[in-house]
Amino acid sequence: MNFNAQHLIFGTAQFFIIVVLAPFFAGFIHKLKQRARGQKGIGIFQFYINFNKLLKKELVLSKDATFISDIAPHIVIVSYLVILLMLPAFYRYSLLGVSSDVILIAYSLALATFFMTLYAMDQGSAFGGLGASREWFLTVLSEPSLIFVFISLAIYTKHGRITDIFYFIQKGAANAFLSGIHSGAVSIAIPFLLFISLFIVSISENARIPIDNPETHLELTMFHEANILEASGKHLGIYEYASYLKLTVFFTVMSLILFPYMAANISQIPLALIIYVLKMIILCILIAVVEIVNPKMRVFRAPNVLSVSFILSLIAMILSIRGF
Amino acid sequence: MIMEKIAELFIILILVSVVLNVSSPFIKFAIKLYSFQSLMLAFYILMGAVHFNSINLYGSFVITVIFKVILIPYFLFKTLKKVKMDKEIDMYIGIPEAVVFAGSLTLLSNLIAQKIIKTGITFGSFVFTISLATFLIGAMLMITRKTLFSQIIGFLTIDNAIFLAANSITHGMPLLVELGVLFDLFVSILILSILILNLRRNFAV
Amino acid sequence: MYELILILPAAALIVSIFADVLWMSYLQLAVSVLVFCAVAAIALSFNSVTVFLGGFFFADYINLVILITVSTLELFVAFYSFGYVRTEIAGGISKRKFKFYYFWKNLFVFSMMVSILSNNLGIYWTGLEATTLATALLVSFNRTKESFEATWKYVIMCSVGIAIGLFAIVILYFTTSQVYGESLRSLSFINIMQAGAKLDKNFLMLAFLLALVGFGTKVGFAPMHNWLPDAHSQGPSPVSALLSGVLLNTALLGILRFYQINGVAGIYYPRYFLIGFGFFTILVSAFSVIKQTDYKRLFAFSSMENMGIIALGFGIGGIAVIGSLLQIFFHALNKGLLFLSSGNVLAATHERRIDKIRSLSKNFPVTALVLLFGVMGISGMPPFAMFLGEIYIMTGVFRSNILLGFLVFILLVFIFIGLFGKILKMYMGNTDNEAGEELKSGKKAHKEINEGAIHPFMVYVPLILLLLSSLLLFYIPSPFLNIVKSASAEFGGRIIF
């Protein structure tokens, strides 16, 4: 088989596998939380059924809505899909690996948030503006640490593309810990700092419990939900799926920081896939535990936590500039 | 090599716990974090002991665990229970500002540490940066917070920073001296606890 | 002989747990006299550096000066305490409290002796921290809110400062361990001095700076001085005398050791830091003295000023070092008499504010006179010994830099006006003003407020100190002078009499 054709096939397969698995991870977290509370709970695959149902429903738009409302959900989901095309989740040569610059990833995430909030305001309801401003309140706080995480990864490995970054980490770790050669960037501490920082950011960005609680529709607690309150039918389905994809994006990056293992050829793919799913499940359990243990915190305490995340990523950046 | 890398993880955890300490107004949590931080310090010393195979450091590990991880937090918890304080109320600057300030202190200490310590002297890279940062953030905790417990926590943080630096550039102080130092620290915590009890009971400070 | 200096306070410490207070006060007299005799015997026969107790302790000329200071002041404080305990017990304070007084005081003196005599810098550190802890409960002896808060500030600030000092010792240890390897030898002061120029200069410099800031907190150098006036004014008067007179010097000894090591290694610029800190301390205390309303705080700021002068003298070098060494001794005596005699006023009137106390000369003839002359002495006026120390230091300062000398001189005049004006008001001022009216018509008028209320020891100990302080201007015993000369030689100071 031609080498490039192999990249094309496995890269596409990787993309589809992640996209298909995304609702599963969200459902798994949901299931864990419900079990911990002693409820019977929905099935793990309930989110697929929901998505299917929502797509068939009628779409109702506000009479004030402009063309923004038509394009916004698509831009949101496409930006997440593009990021997933770049991430080398378990196969090293992802489809868009060539152009997978870390800055691009960070701003694609911001673009999606931007259009989601535009959609919320475009509908003209009171909740939309409220939700949008709250969403930005959190995003503004978590955006710097997200960018710092990516930049310190780039500085740490001296590579710009996310595929190269994780390959470099993988190679360095393999050299250092398996064959004992000290070459390139090897540190446990810096990835660990980045992991903590990204973990806090992903809780905030994915509307998870200590910061936000998407399960309730109380106006006081709504962050993410208030943005898509007006969405219905197809749009709501797209938004729901986009949120699963966003979760998957964050978890994939975290899993790569935690333990980068990417297949370089066909024989390694089954093992890499298994490791990837295992890592994702571990992260799901971790986030479920955080959600179960912590109560929802007051909105004005959110900056405390997010500033910690920011400072940890800043420290990681300082230490990676310094060299090791 | 691998010991050094794991030791770096522990010192990073010390800094993380200090930053968390700045971000939290709860005193009980702060004491727990201090205990955790001391445990990480002890593990760092243990890694050094294994790496250099130094009996001195093994002894240092044991007394650090006894005094800093167990005894001092135990007495602090006991005092806390008696005076019934749970939350820091008097802060001169808000928490997010304090955390960002802590970050800039880390930046500053990195600049200073690079100037004075050549790489390769310390066991584990950037130990000196972390220790200096911990020191400065501990001092910041003492200055920005008014509650008596927070001042103790700040003082203990400073002490941990100095222990970290001491164990990173030397292979531990002589055990006799280290024992004296820890004993003094322990007694000063006892005296401060007595003072807190007196101040709270008689004058409601 | 050397061991005796450490063993006696330790023995007194243990006995004080069991003994009755009044009985203990006799024992304390005996112990203090014995310690003083031992130190005197050492001083008379001293001719070279002596190591004892397995190399952990040693005596050289510099710590001998401080040792003589401590034992002399301790002797007077023991006599004063003899009267103080009786007066306060008659005033209604429980005996149990005074049992702790003797316990902590002996622990304080013991740890101070350990610090001063230690050869090992780690032991020096431990002893210095122990003095903080031992004095903590003495400062809060009165159990008022102010005293607890002063103690809190004292313990926290000094502990942090001394922790920084520990860092300095760690860095020094790191430097010397490259010569001696990692053992107790690398902390031994004598060994470090022998290694001298072989040590890494950058690290020595860093260690000195950290020691200056760290131990400087305990000395009371200016930006870190916040705790000093509170702690020194809140304790019982004999303890205040010891704190101000000798504990500050013990902490200064740590800085001097680092200074010496730097000197041996050929680093000379630390002196500018000493000069800077010394000058700044004088400046801050000069401005603080003027606005004080509490006479014990006034004296505490005066101690700060004198530590500043002493540090300045060590920094200037040459003849000023001799002045500083003399000043250490004279200041201890003079500050002792001020705190002790003002303690009489406090014990009788229970009043700390300057504007509440008037016409002392009527009710406290001896004490008031001692207080007045003591203030003249502490400002460096001629009939008292501190004149000698200050004139040497000022000569040194003027020789090195006329502008600095002029500034220091103006500040000293400031302090003199601040101190003397206030004490003069207490001495003479008539009771016609509001405060006096209150004193006359209020409850306090019924109380017997005069020297009869206090034990004679309390009246005459400061007087003897005053006489001694005056006498020392005209006759300094030649063994002491020799010790001072030899000590100053270690800093490179020379003297022409």
CA B193 to chain A, closest CA, distance in angstroms equals: 29
Q: Is A297 on the interface with B (CB under 8 A)?
A: no
Tokens of C91: 């005033």
Q: Is A305 on the interface with B (CB under 8 A)?
A: yes
B95/A189 CB distance under 8 A? no
CA C139 to chain B, closest CA, distance in angstroms equals: 11
Q: With beta carbons under 8 A apart, name residues in chain B contacting A303.
A: 95-96
Chain C: list its partners (3+ Cβ pairs within 8 Å).
Answer: B
Q: Is A193 on the interface with B (CB under 8 A)?
A: yes
How is residue B13 annotated by DSSP? H
Residue of B nearest to C123 (CA): B177
Query: Residue A5 is which amino acid?
Result: A
Nearest by CB to B184, from C129, C143, C160: name it.
C129
- Alpha-helical (H) ranges within C350-451 are 360-363, 365-378, 386-400, 402-427, 434-441
pLDDT reported for residue B109: 92
Helix, strand or coil, per DSSP, at residue B145: strand
**Residue whose tokens read 């941990």:** B160
Residue of C nearest to B154 (CA): C160
**B interface with A, Cβ–Cβ below 8 Å:** 1-2, 5-6, 8-9, 11-12, 15-16, 19-20, 23-24, 95-96, 99-100, 102-103, 106-107, 110, 114, 119, 125-126, 129, 133
pLDDT reported for residue C38: 93
* Rounded Cα distance, A176 and A171, in Å: 9
Residue A205 has pLDDT above 60, yes or no: yes
Q: Is A8 on the interface with B (CB under 8 A)?
A: no
* Rounded Cα distance, A286 and C307, in Å: 59
Residue of A nearest to B103 (CA): A311
pLDDT reported for residue C495: 47
Nearest by CB to B188, from C149, C159, C174: name it.
C159
pLDDT reported for residue C445: 46
pLDDT reported for residue C497: 42
pLDDT reported for residue B56: 86
Nearest by CB to C156, from B116, B151, B170: name it.
B151
Nearest by CB to B170, from C149, C164, C182: name it.
C182
pLDDT reported for residue A61: 87
C123/B203 CB distance under 8 A? no
Q: Helices then strands (H, E): number in chain A? A: 11, 0
CA C122 to chain B, closest CA, distance in angstroms equals: 5
Nearest by CB to A308, from B23, B119, B129: name it.
B23
Which ipTM did the prediction report?
A: 0.92
C140/B139 CB distance under 8 A? no
Residue of A nearest to B19 (CA): A308
* Rounded Cα distance, A19 and A177, in Å: 33
Q: With beta carbons under 8 A apart, name residues in chain C contacting B203.
A: 145, 148
CA B30 to chain A, closest CA, distance in angstroms equals: 15
B139/C151 CB distance under 8 A? no
C105, exposed or middle or buried, with CB in 10 Å at 0-12, 13-18, 19+?
A: buried
CA atoms within 13 A on the CB side of A123: 26
* Rounded Cα distance, C84 and C343, in Å: 9
A48, A254, C25, C141 from C145: Cα distances, Å: 68, 54, 28, 11
Higher model confidence: residue A179 or residue B31? B31
Chains A and C touch (3+ CB pairs under 8 A): no
CA B39 to chain A, closest CA, distance in angstroms equals: 17
Mean pLDDT in residue range B73-89 = 84
Residue A30 has pLDDT above 80, yes or no: yes
Nearest one of C122, C139, C177 to B182, comparing CA atoms: C122
Dihedral Cα A131, A137, A139, A140, nearest 10 deg: 150
Q: Is A312 on the interface with B (CB under 8 A)?
A: yes
Q: With beta carbons under 8 A apart, name residues in chain C contacting B188.
A: 129, 132-133, 155, 159
Other Cβ atoms closer than 10 A to C217: 25
Nearest by CB to B162, from C137, C170, C184: name it.
C170
**C interface with B, Cβ–Cβ below 8 Å:** 120, 122-123, 125-126, 129-130, 132-133, 136-137, 140, 143, 145, 148-149, 151-152, 155-156, 159-160, 163-164, 166-167, 170-171, 173-174, 177, 182-184, 187, 202, 206
CA B177 to chain C, closest CA, distance in angstroms equals: 5
Ranges of chain C with pLDDT below 70? 429-449, 492-497
Query: Residue A140 is which amino acid?
Result: V
Instruction: Enumerate the β-bridge partners of residue A91.
Output: A263
**B interface with C, Cβ–Cβ below 8 Å:** 56, 116, 139, 142, 148, 151-152, 155, 158-159, 162, 165-166, 169-174, 176-177, 180-181, 183-184, 187-188, 191-192, 194-195, 198-199, 202-203, 205
A196, exposed or middle or buried, with CB in 10 Å at 0-12, 13-18, 19+?
A: buried
Q: Where in C283-431 does DSSP place strands (E)?
A: none
Find all residues with CB under 8 Å of A182, minimum gap 6, and list them.
Answer: A175, A176, B1
Mean pLDDT in residue range B71-78 = 93
Residue length, chain C? 497
CA atoms within 13 A on the CB side of A231: 27
A147-162 residue pLDDT tens: 999 999 999 888 889 9
Q: With beta carbons under 8 A apart, name residues in chain C contacting B174.
A: 122, 182-184, 187
Q: With beta carbons under 8 A apart, name residues in chain A contacting B23.
A: 304-305, 307-308
DSSP letters for B14-72: HHHHHHHHHH--BHHHHHHHHHHHHHHHHHHHHHHHHHHT-HHHHHHHHHHIIIIIIIH
Chain A: list its partners (3+ Cβ pairs within 8 Å).
Answer: B
Residue of C nearest to B157 (CA): C160
B188/C122 CB distance under 8 A? no
Q: With beta carbons under 8 A apart, name residues in chain C contacting B195.
A: 136, 140, 148, 151-152, 155
CA C84 to chain B, closest CA, distance in angstroms equals: 25
Tokens of B45: 């010393």
Q: With beta carbons under 8 A apart, name residues in chain A contacting B20.
A: 308
B192/C140 CB distance under 8 A? no
pLDDT reported for residue B145: 87
Q: With beta carbons under 8 A apart, name residues in chain A contacting B2.
A: 176-177
* Rounded Cα distance, A120 and A228, in Å: 6
Q: Is A99 on the interface with B (CB under 8 A)?
A: no
pLDDT reported for residue C117: 93
Q: With beta carbons under 8 A apart, name residues in chain C contacting B183.
A: 126
pLDDT reported for residue C496: 44
Nearest by CB to B15, from A186, A305, A315: name it.
A315
Higher model confidence: residue C429 or residue B193? B193
Residue A115 has pLDDT above 80, yes or no: yes
Higher model confidence: residue A297 or residue A255? A255
How far from the centroid of its chain's Cα atoms is residue B145's Cα? Answer: 16
